Structure 1
Amino acid sequence: MTTPLFPGGVAVSGLKVYDWEAADGRCGGSPHLHTASSEGYIVTGGSGEVHTVSSAGRGIHPLAPGEIVWFSPGTVHRLVNHGDLELVVVMQNAGLPEAGDAVLTFPAAVLDDPVAYATAAALPEGDDVTRAEAARARRDLAMRGYLQLLDDLEARGDAALADLHARAARLVQPKAAHWQRLWRETVGAETDRTRDQLERLAEGMPGLLAEASVARGERTPGPRGFGMCGRLQTWRWPESSAEGD
């Protein structure tokens, strides 16, 4: 091991949740789900809620400084901002979410058309005003599909969420082989490293201890980016020595 991954192979970002009002009168971000990665929120400022749809049904989870909430893949989640809501976001499987692990809750016709989905999900190059308008339009389209999902849940129960999961799986299927390789070369390699080190320690050997090292993530320059749920502060992480092509 030369350059260590962030502990657990996770990614960390800072999030200021959008305060844009949506069709239902609440302010916040774009509803979406992750197809392979769990996500966690550590609330650092302001107040709000995260609304979820999962195998347990619909839920509303209050958010205030010091609160920690996390959820597994397939959970539809929507951040609602009651005022100045800020979070530290911890994402499992660093690299997979950045490679398209998330699926926005666009209407079914968009989810069933990969080209239409890619067009609706992309943000154009340009100044902050242009990108903010596009991010808000993307949020509004995701809200349209989300509100349709809630109506469908009332009418058909769990089958509505199962249909969304099926559409999401079909949409990301072409990316899965790349994700498998990326995971093996990063998080999988880190897991193997820990297993091997435990075996060395069980033998009374120091193993990797002689290779101890320190890494620092550099703050991404420029203004915060436009994420699905708000303005994102990200960091440039050192590349792992296990990372391939």
Structure 2
Amino acid sequence: MRIARFSIDGNVAFGAVEGSTAPGAEGELVLDIIKGIPFADFELSGTKVPLNKVRLLPPVLPNKVVAIGRNYAEHAAELGNSVFDDQGRPEAPITFFKPSTSVVGPGDPIAYPSFSHDLHHEAELAVVIGRMCREVPKERVKDVILGYTCANDVTARDVQQREKQWARAKGFDSSCPLGPWIETDLDPSDLTIQCTVNGEQRQLGRTSDMVRSIEDLIVHITEAMTLLPGDVILTGTPAGVGPLNVGDEVAVTIEGIGTLTNKVIKRG
């Protein structure tokens, strides 16, 4: 099931996306409005609205976004880093936060921060948590996942390099586009991830190239903290990250999910 969060006539609701999501078919999609919220038992109301008559919102409003750095070896290498120790074993995941205020939805603008001159795109698979959990064993990870969506871990690269920690570089307003919806029926182990800027391909990778699996990441994160329904985990980006400029349109496409598109604007 594909679950979208949307606004219509000033009201916010969740709905199940019905119809073909193939390119060019978006106008045929409809939303069957959900009774309740997707983090508990819910029913479809049978009341349907065309997708092109609503405004899609971020599919969730997370309490926190927990992000993983350097989870693709080629991306780490392009930034001059390694993800393995001297024996070739994966090092501990690099974990950081993006605040809830960084989250925007499909079609929302990415505001170029005034304190940066080198903004980069980072296409990522995002995991949406469906229930409160901590200390999750590997064999129970699937039980705590609601589904998956597209993400763009927009990064002020010059600030990241200059400040040595990533709070401002990756946590500024609009630095975490999510969407267009949550796909609940998906095997995330080997999906294509693509990023284009103004239609030109910049990133192309597969989730099978992750250094650490989604199961390992959730085990690692929940050893330290409780995850709440709607929390989001960003799983890292493949190689090919590069600059964004004001006026650019950046699109993240993940096989089996869809496309998340945003435009870069000058911060007012």
TM-score, normalising length from structure 2?
0.25
Higher relative contact order (CA 8 A, sep 6+): 1
Higher strand residue share = 2
Structure showing greater radius of gyration is 1
